[in-house]
């Protein structure tokens, strides 16, 4: 449910809360999930983002988010130039994405000779967004609260491992969702938490059998 500062607010750079402010948020959450500024980003715009994105600055907004800017950053219109200065390569293209919300962007981030992350998210208006895919797996979260994302093999014990480790570091689980591609295949857990998950807990989880990758979106503190 919207609070009064969703009615008056956000403070943002125009012209559209869904096509500009929401797009910045998508870029920013992509960057936070990646853990750093990508060396290269490929951005696909779908539906209304592709059709009217240019006039709304959706393209510049997504790049601004990837550079770590927030929706009220006055440098958003200059984000293409800033990306060049900061050494982030990028490509933006329209692309029809299957079964996607009209305001969807897909972002593929790469680190030179290193990691890669693929994210799909859509803008729901008022500057708010939902992440819908991570590395090809279906998910559904807002990025408004601290979120732990665990990629694992679909096998018994993984969920217990996560809840045990969170319990050990006194982190309360607010919501938890589990998704899997198929039985015994790869799966993903999306856990929204009331507290920050400490680095030690993430390392502990990474060492557990069946857990492939752990990502934490920290909204309590700045990068």
Region near another protein per CB under 8 A, out of 45-53, 160-168, 170-178, 209-217: 45-53
How remote is the C-alpha of 194 from its chain's centroid? 18
Cβ distance to another protein smaller for residue 7 or 160: 7
| Residues pairing with 128 in the sheet | 125
Say if CB 9 and CB 72 are below 8 A apart. Answer: no
> Closest separation between CB of residue 2 and another protein, Å?
6
Q: In angstroms, rounded to a whole number, what is the distance separating the alpha carbons of residues 25 and 23?
A: 5
The gap between the terminal CA atoms of the chain, to the nearest Å, is: 28
Token look-up 């992350």 returns 117
Please tell me whether residue 9 binds another protein under the rule CB under 8 A.
yes
Q: In angstroms, rounded to a whole number, what is the distance separating the alpha carbons of residues 143 and 26?
A: 9
Find out whether the peptide bond into 199 is cis, omega within 30 degrees of 0.
no
Cβ distance to another protein smaller for residue 53 or 143: 53
What string marks each residue from 113 to 132 as x (binds another protein by CB under 8 A) or -? ------------xxx-----
Please tell me whether residue 11 binds another protein under the rule CB under 8 A.
yes
52-81 residues in contact with another protein (CB under 8 A) are 52, 54-57, 60, 72, 74, 76-77
Please tell me whether residue 170 binds another protein under the rule CB under 8 A.
no
Q: Which residues bind another protein (CB under 8 A)?
A: 1-5, 7-17, 20-21, 48, 51-52, 54-57, 60, 72, 74, 76-77, 125-127
């Amino acid at each position: 449910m919207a609070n009064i500062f969703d009615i008056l607010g956000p403070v943002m750079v125009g012209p559209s809360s869904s096509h500009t402010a929401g797009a910045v948020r998508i870029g920013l959450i992509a960057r936070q999930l990646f853990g750093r500024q990508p060396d290269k980003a490929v951005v696909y715009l779908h539906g209304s983002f592709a059709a009217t994105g240019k006039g709304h600055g959706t393209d510049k907004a997504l790049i601004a988010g990837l550079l770590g800017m927030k929706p009220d950053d006055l440098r958003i219109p200059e984000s293409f130039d800033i990306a060049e200065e900061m050494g982030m390569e990028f490509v933006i293209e329209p692309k029809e994405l299957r079964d996607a919300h009209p305001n969807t962007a897909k972002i593929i981030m790469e680190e030179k000779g290193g990691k890669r992350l693929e994210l799909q998210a859509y803008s729901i208006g008022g500057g708010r967004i939902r992440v819908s895919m991570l590395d090809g797996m279906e998910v559904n979260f807002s990025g408004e609260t601290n979120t732990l994302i665990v990629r694992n093999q679909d096998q018994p014990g993984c969920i217990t491992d996560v809840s045990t480790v969170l319990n050990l570091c006194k982190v309360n689980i607010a919501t938890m969702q589990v998704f899997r591609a198929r039985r015994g295949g790869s799966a993903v857990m999306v856990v929204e938490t009331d507290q920050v998950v400490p680095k030690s807990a993430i390392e502990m989880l990474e060492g557990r059998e069946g857990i492939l990758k752990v990502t934490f979106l920290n909204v309590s503190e700045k990068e």
